[in-house]
Structure 1
Amino acid sequence: MQLSRIEDHTHYCFADVVAPVLSIRSGTRLTVETRDASNGQIRPDLNTPVDRSRLLPVTGPVAMEGAQPGDAVSIHIEKIDFAEAGYAWVRPGLGILNIDTEGPYYAKRIEVTSEGFCLADDHKIPLRPMVGIIGVGTPEEITTRLPGRHGGNMDCVDVAPGNTLWLPALIPGANISFGDVHAAMGEGEVSGTGVEIDAEVTVTLNLHPGVLIDGPVIVTPRKTVFLASASEFLQAARSALGRAVEALVIRNGFTKKEAYMVASLTGNARICQLVNGDVTAAYELPKEVFTW
């Protein structure tokens, strides 16, 4: 089953008023076409204004039959196929440094192959494929720029092939959307972009009735990653760590003080992104001490 990136399948906020364009059953395998983060607008030698209302498009929503608030949905990412080229850019005010670009944007076209990509020289840089935005519909309108409990613009490098993202269903049908794929991106996304690229993302979606989770969780073969977003990094990091500690208490039977110690001895606090309005932090636990 395939969902195209045509305009009728594209939107710019998570909200219960955004009607689903496709309804599926649990266990469906789906290929979703996504647009690059600038929606084709930011290119080298750009000399026209950017329509910021059309940035960060997502494809969807996809409704999960039977999903209700209080359930969870999981999205297993099987593979990501890229267009032949992506784009990266820098502009004043974007990212965590203020760099003079001698113009509104400094943008580069980056050809992508299965072997990687090149920048200023012939040195090949390996791909790091990931999906920047996956989110569920929300009772209130939230722009696709923002991350949160619903998922959204988390820009976590672990939302990648071979891994599974879990999200809470916040409205009937869950209404899942996808966008902002990167051929490569470093943790933090410090300049504001990765290699932004049109893509096809193949996923398997499952419904988990009665599984109540507070926010995004990523399960990989080696670890479980708890994500949280907030206006300040330390606040986000505390929330992500708190979710990891709570999971150790509930699933492993530790006391809270034991779980806190285990997290400190075995886990990792990480930055996902620092540039999307609210920042996103992660706390990961290795499979030796925790399995989802």
Structure 2
Amino acid sequence: MIRLSKETATYTFSAAHPPAIRIQPGETIVFETLDALDDQIHSDEDSASKIDLGHVNAATGPVYVEGAAPGDTLVAEILEIKPWNWGAALIIPGFGFLQDTIPGPYTRVFHVEPDGSMRYGSRVRLPLKPMIGTIGVAPLEPITTLSSGAHGGNLDTTDVKAGCKMYLPVFVEGALFGVGDVHATMGDGEVCGTGVECGAEVTIRLDVRHDMPIERPRLESPTEIMTIASAEGGLEEAIKIALEDMVSWLQREKGLSQEEAYMLVSIAGDVRIGQIVDPAVTVRVAVPRGIFV
């Protein structure tokens, strides 16, 4: 099996990066990923104030997929996420939704127990729920891995986990795929600015669809289909984009009229927050697969 070292990680999604590796469609790669804090935190005593924000959220890659061309769709099937046995959550000054009232700094290191849980003090035990924060392809113009957009990026969406397929629009030859920012667990919103940030080994099969043009990321889980949108204009803008994408998907794939699709999302779908702390906020619209006959 192909392995890609965390030493290939970059801090931007960009067509200017030379490929770390070239693969054929359908091949599987094990990505070694750095923790989002780039190994800057090791104990509760390590201050969140010392974080160098120029070296966070690295994405391992990029991977050049032969035959992927602008207008195609890259399919990233997430087969397995194996997080490190420890991670850290932080409140970083100047970051987080309540930064004006709870500014930090504050650091908490977590260790995975033999039963797969993590202790948070003496009264809370957290289950291990690994997910990918940053996953994307190179856009036409470089963008930091801290942000998100039509190319994917720092989506921080808890549904991006093993057993799911991420669909990403291809903007440049080869797609130039990268992945990183794994969380041992994270809540929707990522309100303080981090989940339990950890390194990991992530196994992904990459393929190309030439018959499925999309404008923004889509996600399929065993139970749901989801559209994902990011917007610097805030939640209302992101929700509108994700909702319009879902309506279009249902029209094309399920043969519904625009009105039927819109109503179906209202009576059977969910609007969920991904994260509300990055330069562009992220939401997804989810519809259960089991309702279709």
Q: TM-score, normalised by structure 1?
A: 0.94
**What is the correspondence of 1:246-265 to structure 2 with a 5 Å cutoff?**
246-265=248-267
Query: Is 1:221 matched with 2:222?
Result: yes
> What's the secondary structure of 2:277's corresponding residue?
strand
Q: In the alignment, what sits opposite 1:111? A: 111
2: distance between equivalents of 1:66 and 1:30? 17
Distance 1:151-1:290 versus aligned 2 partners, 3 A rule: farther
SS in 2 for 1:124: strand
> 1:251-290 to 2 correspondence within 5 Å?
251-289=253-291
CA distance in 1, matches of 2:187, 2:228: 17
Query: Using the alignment, how far apart are the partners of 1:196 and 1:14 within structure 2?
Result: 20
SS at match of 1:276: coil
**Which residue in the other structure is 1:29 paired with?**
28
1:250 shift after superposition: 1.5
Q: Is the 8 A contact 1:14 1:137 kept in 2?
A: yes
What residue identity is the alignment partner of 2:141?
E
2:88 is aligned with 1:87:
yes
Alignment partners' CA distance in 2, 1:269 and 1:156: 12
**Following TM superposition, by how much is the alpha carbon of 1:122 offset from its aligned partner in structure 2, in angstroms?**
5.6
What does the per-residue CA deviation read over 1:165-214, in whole Å, with 9 as the maximum and x for residues that have no partner?
11011100000001100000000001100010011001111111232011
What secondary structure is seen at the aligned counterpart in 2 of 1:125? strand
Q: CA deviation at 1:94?
A: 1.7
Corresponding position: 1:154 with 2:155: yes
Of residues 192-201 and 82-91 in structure 1, the stretch that sits farther from structure 2 once superposed is 82-91
Paired positions, count: 287
| Alignment gaps of 5+ in structure 2 | none
Q: Distance in 2 between matches of 1:91 and 1:15?
A: 27
Shift in Å, 1:93:
2.6
Structure 1 residues 191-249: Cα deviation after superposition (integer angstroms, max 9, x where no partner): 10001001100111111123201111110111101000112101100110100111111
- Matching residue's letter, 2:264: V
Paired position in structure 2 for 1:41 = 40
Scaled by the length of structure 2, the TM-score of the pair is: 0.94
Q: Which moved more, 1:250-259 or 1:225-234?
A: 250-259
Q: Moved runs in structure 1, 4+ residues, more than 4 A? A: none
Aligned: 1:140 with 2:141 = yes
User: Aligned runs of 1:235-254 on 2, under 5 Å?
Assistant: 235-254=237-256
Deviates further, 110-119 or 176-185: 110-119
* Gaps in structure 1 of 5+ consecutive residues: none
Question: What SS does structure 1 have at the residue aligned with 2:126?
Answer: coil
Partners of 2:292 and 2:74 in 1: how far apart? 20
1:198 corresponds in structure 2 to: 199
